[in-house]
Structure formats: C-alpha cells, structure tokens
Amino acid sequence: MIESEPSPNGAAEAESSSRKRVVIGDVAARAGVSKSAVSFVFNNRSGVSASARERILRAADELGWRPSARARALSRSHAQAVGLVIRRDPELLSTDPFFPQFMAGVEIGLTAHDYSLVLQVVADEQSERAAYHRFADASRVDGVFLTDVRIGDTRPQDARELGLRAVVIAPEDAASDDGVAIGMNDSDGVRRAVHHLHSLGHRRIAHVMGAPMYVHTEARRRAWREALVDLGLPVGTVVTADFTGASGARATHELLDLPEPPTAIVYGNDLMAIAGVSAATDRGVRVPEDLSVVGFDDIPLAPYALPPLTTVRQNVVAWGTAAAQTLVALVEGRQPPTVRLPPVEFVVRGSTGPTRDRRHA
Amino acid sequence: MIESEPSPNGAAEAESSSRKRVVIGDVAARAGVSKSAVSFVFNNRSGVSASARERILRAADELGWRPSARARALSRSHAQAVGLVIRRDPELLSTDPFFPQFMAGVEIGLTAHDYSLVLQVVADEQSERAAYHRFADASRVDGVFLTDVRIGDTRPQDARELGLRAVVIAPEDAASDDGVAIGMNDSDGVRRAVHHLHSLGHRRIAHVMGAPMYVHTEARRRAWREALVDLGLPVGTVVTADFTGASGARATHELLDLPEPPTAIVYGNDLMAIAGVSAATDRGVRVPEDLSVVGFDDIPLAPYALPPLTTVRQNVVAWGTAAAQTLVALVEGRQPPTVRLPPVEFVVRGSTGPTRDRRHA
DNA sequence: TTGTACGCGTTATCAA
DNA sequence: TTGATAACGCGTACAA
C-alpha cells in the first residue's frame, strides 16, 4: 500500500518503472525540431511549417506528451485556474441546488479553455477571507467567482487589490460597476409568482425571505413588493427567515398566527416553502385549499412534495457557463463575450390554487 | 466594467501599480540571508539559526510574502493539489447531499496541509476518463478521490497507471485492495432499517434500489436481503430504479400493483422515498398507515416531508476529512492515519409505523 | 526557426 | 552546524 522506496523525485512513478516523465525536449528531439517549435504548435502560434507541425503532433502523440500545467503556470505567470470559495452552512449547502448546478455549468465554460476549477469550502467569514488570500498569495488561481454576494460586500474590491480578476454573480439590479457581473434575474420569477397568485384571486400575499444579508434575498423581497404595488394589492407581511427548513416552518407559523393570515405565501426558496407546507399541514391548514405556496429554485424534489410545489426555476447551469467564459476572457485580457441568459421559468404545480377567502369572494 | 488597458503581462496588477510581486529573493535580501535560508525556514528544515529564522519570518511578514504555489509545484514536481471528478446527472447532482458534504469534509482535511482541491464535473464516462487524463498528464494534481465506485470499476488501476495516488470511497465490504479505501458503512443503516420495520410488525418488506452499476447500490441491496434472512422473513421484492424521483415513483407503483403488495419499502435514497410517498398517496395508499417508508441520506428536507421521513444518516463530512487526510499522507509517502469513522445513525420519523396488515395481525 | 534567458522556489554541492 | 552558490524543473518568449 505504501511505497517501499519513496524516491526523492516524487514517488509518483515508482510503479511505472524506468519510464520517466516525457518533457518537451523529448518531443522536440523526436520530431527533429527545437523546443520552441513544439511550444509554438501547442499554443497555436504561427511560425511552424505544416510538415513540422505534423511531425511534432505525431511525436507528442506517440510519446503521450502534454505540456505540464506546472511548468506552464510558472513561465506564463498564470495558473490557468480559477477559484470558487463557497461559504455556507452545512445544512444549506446540501440542499441548495445552486452550487452543484453552477459548478456543472462553470465546468463547461472552463474545460473548453482548459482551465481548472479550484474549490474551497469554508464555514465563516474569517476562513473565507483567508481562502481568497491563499488563492492570491500563492498564485494558485488567476481569478475568482463571487457568489452569495452580501449587502455591502467588499469582496469585489478585495479581489482587485489581491490582483485577482473576479466575476460577480448577483441579481441584475444589484450589479454595481465593481466588476464584471453575470446577472441573475430573480425579480422576474417572483413577479410572475405574484401575478399568478393574483390571477387565482389572492389578495393577501405574504413573503418569507431568506437570510437578509444577501443581495438576492433583498432582490426577491423587492420584486415581491413591487409586484403587489403594481397590481394594486396591499403590501402583505414579510417575515425574515434564513433559507433553512426550520426557519421556513417558524415563519409560516408566524404568518398563520396573524389576525388576518395571508392566503398565499411566496418563499425565498423551496426548502422553506416545503417546510412551510409541513407547518401549515400540522395546524390543519390545507395547501392549496386554504393556503397557496410558491417556492423558488425548483429542486428535484419539488414535483414530489405533497402537494407538488409551484416554484421558480432558473437555468443556473447556463449562468455557470457564462460566468466561466467571462472570467476566462477577463483573465486573458480579452473582451468578455456578451452573455444572453435564458429567461426564468415559472412552474405551476399543485401547491397553488384559487383562494377560498370568503371575505373577498 | 471592462479593463480599458489589457496590458500584455496580464492586467493582474494594473491597479496595484509599481508594487510588483515579492519574491523569495526580496525576503532574503531584507533578512540579510540567502534564498536557501528562506526556503529552509518555510519548509521547517534545520540548518538555520534561531536568529536568522526570526529575521526571515519577520521580513516575510513585513513584505507579505508567501511561497508561490506555482514555483513550488514546478521545483518539487508536486502540485500540492488533489482532484475530484464528479460524474453525475444534473438532476441527481443537485439533490444528492453526498457531494457537498463530502467536499466540505475534504476541505477540512486539505486546508490543514495547505492542499487545494481541483474539481471537475463531467456528464459521461468519456469525459470522465478525459478528466483523469488531464489531471495526470498536465500534472495538475498529485492524487484523486474516487467516488461513486462502479462494479468492475477500473479507475483504481487507471489512476495507478497514470501515476496518481488514489483514495477510494466505497462501502467497506466492497473495498478491494486496489488502493487505500475509506469505508462507508451503508449496510449497517439498511440493516437497522429492516430491523426497525420488523419490530413494527412488518413482514413484507420490499426494496427499491438505485442505479445498479454502483457498488453502494449493491451493498444496500445485499444488506436488505441479509437482514431479512437473519430475521427469518421472506425476501421481498426488489425493484431496480436509478436514484431519481421519477424512478422512485415508478418503482413504488410497481410494488403496489403486486398481488401481495409490501407493507414497507426501504429505498436506496431519500429522493426516491419521498417520490414513493407521493406516488402512494396519489393512489390512496396512506403513509404510514398502509405503507411504511424508509429513505437513505437524511437530506435536510427529510424532516419536512409529509409525513417526515424515517431515514439513515451518515456523517459524510467525516468521510471527506478522513479521505483527505489519507490522500495527503499517501501523496507525501507517509503512512495514512488509521481513520475511525462515526457510526451510521438511523433516524425514526413519521413515515414508518406499525403494520395494519390484517393477514398477519 | 532556433538558441537561450527567464519565471521562482527547492535542493545538491561547497565553504566557512 | 550554519550559510551561500548554483543547478534544476519545464515550458515560454525574445533575440538572433
């Protein structure tokens, strides 16, 4: 199990015997050219004849050589890697569909350019700052994605000072000019939710918001409020929660305890919405007969909730890809492509229905 | 928003003006010693006097210098990074609590040793192989975690051939000696689920298994079967599904269509279990009155399902940490520490109850 | 197209 | 033992 002979040059090839690492010189020699020629070919630069290029590619292929990311990173002063720091509660991390989807999308954008994604999961703000510093000081990455943007977040400036390129993933209307941003469009989804509830006859529509420090939490709250105002409905009650199931259940109880409880609730995410349904059911309030519920995210479980959850779906994978393309362009000093993100979808399922509120019937 | 002046040397320090990167030589000069002395101090090696060490540390601190991971990686032939390749359907990726928790745990183990985690999310087997090759050929990482181990999986050998150290995360009983393994203990959870159901009077206990290519799927099925045999119960029906909600619902319908339907079902994960509850409810079968349901994973939503889901919980974060410590030790040629993983927990909630099966009452 | 300096720590070799 | 010097790792980039 353990190397018997941890050779000083790294035990990595203890097994594969004499075959030492193939380097650019080997390829050059085999193709009968200089190292530079090989380098040129592998960087798609001109200055190599077609026949030489052909021989070089064949030689590299036969030897199974690919440029070492390590050597390349050093000579180019460029890590060919970008970083993502995730700061989350353990609970939220494992329900939130955002990160897995976002990372899957990022991968698509990065792999095309042969960049790597370096990940760091941290629990608190202090570790988060340390993580960005490690990234920058050790030059492990060339740029970072900034997600879960908080109100008054200084990370865009911090990143700039650390010499890291950054792409901010935040709601469109919250995007400042601190850096290049990929705009999420949360407002649209919430607006559609409110309109949907309005069309079902609801007039007392409450909102359970997530952790208030995030700009997207605020964006969703604002969209909810504006939609109500636009429709001429009274602005309902908003309860602050924190995106966890427990907080969603608690907030729901608070709302149902009101003298005039809402007939519909728009939640900041699906987890709180489903916990809300559970809380309502516990006290004999039926969904959707007595209370309509809308979530946000469309987690894979949403169709299987009881009742199936009406919710807002965003194409987070597409954001990830767009963010990655933008960041790579930024790192390479190119003009970032103009990204066109797919529109938000609103998915109507069984947790919303016509109001039975007699007072307004 | 966009840099006005994309300088050729990478715009990274456009803002920070003249302050160019501090290098080891600067620290050495300031401390009045040679580069090697600085290097020795930062690698905890002897050969530097206490006073010199003191000056060096102060100089480095004042200059804010940390060794460049890039240069270090090149000279040590060592990336100081490990890789994780995730191959998953998009749907499963965003419900599965495994990866987020595992990564959070890995981070704990890696940060302590200043290693980075390089992530790659891929969709199919071909991209997966390519990903491992990229890791190895470009020497981006020193080792990899192998998760979602499949039956007949060749990745342990592949990794060895590529010169990558590997830690396999798989059920204990499936761990071969292909490499160092961190043992999951799925069987125990399933066994406890079956015993729990038995104690409630159930005699016809079915199983909905996940995608059959994974060793953990098979481990759970085997544990289910063995527990039944041990208890002297008839081996119930097993239906093959694939861990998705849709497959869980379909499998449940199949089971309830049987001439002698089960009174309890053990599912391979929570998503299928919750979808199963939904399917049962749709056809008028009440949970837990008519049917008891047990999941696996204890996702954060489990307590808020209707009824709250009885399920199996594993401390995946702990596995991640153990796997990371093991992999780092392996990469550095040390003896991996003996890991002691916390035991499986079985969480009883509302989806299981006494059987009403009159035939056996 | 090619030779060669360079990027930045690490380590083997020498000297004190 | 403490410390300095130089070679090295492996591509890249610039001068020739």
pLDDT tens digits, residue range A265-295?
999 999 999 999 999 999 999 999 999 999 9
Tell me whether residue A285 is in a domain: yes
Please give the span between the terminal C-alpha atoms of chain A, in angstroms, as a whole number: 75
- Between residues 90 and 119 of chain B, which touch chain A (CB distance below 8 Å)? 90-97, 99-101, 103-104, 106-107, 111, 114, 116-119
* Cα torsion angle, A317, A322, A323, A329, sign: positive
Tell me whether residue A76 is in a domain: no
* Cα torsion angle, B248, B251, B257, B260, sign: negative
The angle, 0 to 180 degrees and rounded to 10, between the axes of the packed helices B35-42 and B24-31 is 100
Is residue A357 a contact partner of residue A292, using CB atoms and an 8 Å limit?
A: no
Task: Determine if strand C comes within 7 Å of the CB of A47.
Answer: yes
Q: What is the pLDDT of residue B241?
A: 98
Amino acid residing at B184: M
* Cα torsion angle, B28, B32, B36, B40, sign: negative
Q: What is the pLDDT of residue A339?
A: 84
How many angstroms is C1' of D9 away from CA of A28?
Answer: 17
Q: What is the pLDDT of residue B179?
A: 63
Q: What is the mean pLDDT of residues B245-262?
A: 97
What is the pLDDT of chain A when averaged over all its residues? Answer: 89
CA distance linking residue A119 with residue B106, whole number of Å:
11
CA distance linking residue B349 with residue A76, whole number of Å:
57
Q: Are residues B179 and B326 in the same domain?
A: yes
pLDDT tens digits, residue range B299-326?
999 999 999 999 999 999 999 999 999 9
Q: Are residues B208 and B279 in the same domain?
A: yes
How many angstroms is C1' of C6 away from CA of A76?
Answer: 10
Tell me whether residue A32 is in a domain: yes
Q: Is the pLDDT at B9 greater than 90, yes or no?
A: no
Is residue B213 a contact partner of residue B89, using CB atoms and an 8 Å limit?
A: no
Q: What is the mean pLDDT of residues B163-187?
A: 78
Tell me whether residue A1 is in a domain: no
Q: Give the least confident one: A339-353, B11-25, B68-82.
A: B11-25
Q: Is the pLDDT at A176 greater than 80, yes or no?
A: no
Q: Are residues B103 and B176 in the same domain?
A: yes
Nucleotides of C under 7 A from a protein CB: 1-4, 6-12
Across the interface, whether the CB atoms of B271 and A117 are under 8 A apart is answered: no
pLDDT over 90 percentage in chain B:
76
Show the domain range for A145.
Answer: 81-183+316-341
Tell me whether residue B91 is in a domain: yes
What is the pLDDT of chain B when averaged over all its residues? Answer: 89
Q: What is the pLDDT of residue B175?
A: 55
Is the CB of residue A334 less than 8 Å away from at least one CB of chain B? yes
Task: Determine if strand D comes within 7 Å of the CB of B24.
Answer: no
pLDDT tens digits, residue range A13-66?
333 434 467 899 999 999 999 999 999 999 999 889 999 999 999 999 999 999
CA distance linking residue A86 with residue A94, whole number of Å:
12
Residue A330, phi-psi category: left (phi > 0), alpha (psi -120 to 50), beta (remainder): alpha
Q: What is the mean pLDDT of residues B141-158?
A: 93
- Per the DSSP assignment, residues forming a β-bridge with B206 are B265
∠ CA A13-A17-A18, rounded to 5°:
105
Strand ranges for chain B from DSSP E: 81-87, 116-122, 143-146, 165-171, 180-184, 205-209, 238-240, 264-267, 292-294, 311-313, 345-347
- Distance from the B203 Cα atom to the nearest Cα atom in chain A, whole angstroms: 27
Is residue B184 a contact partner of residue B320, using CB atoms and an 8 Å limit?
A: no
Is residue A136 a contact partner of residue A104, using CB atoms and an 8 Å limit?
A: no
Q: Are residues A232 and A350 in the same domain?
A: yes
Q: What is the mean pLDDT of residues A136-142?
A: 91
Name the pLDDT band for A358 (thresholds 50, 70, 90). Answer: low
Q: Are residues B129 and B250 in the same domain?
A: no
Please give the span between the terminal C-alpha atoms of chain B, in angstroms, as a whole number: 73
Q: What is the mean pLDDT of residues A128-140?
A: 91
Cβ neighbours of residue A6 closer than 8 Å, sequence gap 6 or more:
A14, B333
Q: Which residue has the higher pLDDT, B182 or A90?
A: B182
Is residue B213 a contact partner of residue B272, using CB atoms and an 8 Å limit?
A: no
* Cα torsion angle, A91, A97, A102, A104, sign: positive
Number of domains chain A contains: 3
The highest-confidence range among A147-151, A226-230, B15-19, B89-93, by mean pLDDT, is A226-230
DSSP 8-class letter at B97: S
pLDDT tens digits, residue range A312-357?
999 999 999 999 999 999 998 888 888 888 999 999 999 999 998 6
Across the interface, whether the CB atoms of A15 and B160 are under 8 A apart is answered: yes
Q: Is the pLDDT at A188 greater than 60, yes or no?
A: yes
User: Shortest CB distance from B69 goes to which of A13, A122, A138?
Assistant: A138
Q: Is the pLDDT at A89 greater than 90, yes or no?
A: no
CA distance linking residue A290 with residue A354, whole number of Å:
9
Q: What is the pLDDT of residue A16?
A: 40
Tell me whether residue B76 is in a domain: no
Burial level of B44, CB count in 10 A (0-12/13-18/19+)?
exposed
Across the interface, whether the CB atoms of A78 and B317 are under 8 A apart is answered: no
Q: What is the pLDDT of residue B176?
A: 58
Nearest chain B alpha carbon to A315: B90
H or E element in which residue B212 lies: none
Q: Are residues A263 and A224 in the same domain?
A: yes
Across the interface, whether the CB atoms of A300 and B119 are under 8 A apart is answered: no
Give me the residue label for tokens 């199963």: B276
Q: What is the mean pLDDT of residues B181-201?
A: 92
Q: What is the mean pLDDT of residues B107-127?
A: 92
How many angstroms is C1' of D16 away from CA of A54?
Answer: 26
∠ CA B103-B315-A242, rounded to 5°:
70
- Between residues 43 and 62 of chain B, which touch chain A (CB distance below 8 Å)? none
Tell me whether residue A230 is in a domain: yes
CA distance linking residue A5 with residue A37, whole number of Å:
37
Q: What is the pLDDT of residue A184?
A: 80
Written as six digits, the tokens of A77 are 């002063």
H or E element in which residue A84 lies: strand A81-87
Question: Which of A311, A73, A66 is CA-nearest to residue A193?
Answer: A311
Across the interface, whether the CB atoms of B103 and A121 are under 8 A apart is answered: yes
Q: What CATH number is attached to the domain comprising B55?
A: 1.10.260.40
Q: Is the pLDDT at B18 greater than 70, yes or no?
A: no
Q: Are residues B44 and B114 in the same domain?
A: no
CA distance linking residue A190 with residue A210, whole number of Å:
13
Q: How far is CA B202 from CA B162, B220, B262, B290, B292, in A?
A: 50, 19, 9, 11, 9
Q: What CATH number is attached to the domain comprising A234?
A: 3.40.50.2300
Q: Is the pLDDT at A307 greater than 60, yes or no?
A: yes
Smallest CA–C1' separation from B8, nucleotide: D13
Q: Are residues A178 and A327 in the same domain?
A: yes
Distance of CA B319 to the CA centre of its chain: 7
Q: Are residues B309 and B197 in the same domain?
A: yes
pLDDT tens digits, residue range A226-256?
999 999 999 999 999 999 999 999 999 999 9
Task: Determine if strand D comes within 7 Å of the CB of A78.
Answer: no
Is residue B292 a contact partner of residue B200, using CB atoms and an 8 Å limit?
A: yes
Across the interface, whether the CB atoms of A70 and B67 are under 8 A apart is answered: no
Question: Which of B50, B49, B59, B51 is CA-nearest to residue B25?
Answer: B59
Q: What is the pLDDT of residue B185?
A: 86
Written as six digits, the tokens of A52 are 């030489």
A210 backbone dihedrals φ, ψ, rounded to 5°? -80, -165
Q: Are residues B226 and B337 in the same domain?
A: no
Q: Are residues A165 and A278 in the same domain?
A: no
CB atoms within 10 A of CB A144: 26
Q: Are residues A166 and A244 in the same domain?
A: no
Q: What is the pLDDT of residue A193?
A: 98
Tell me whether residue A5 is in a domain: no
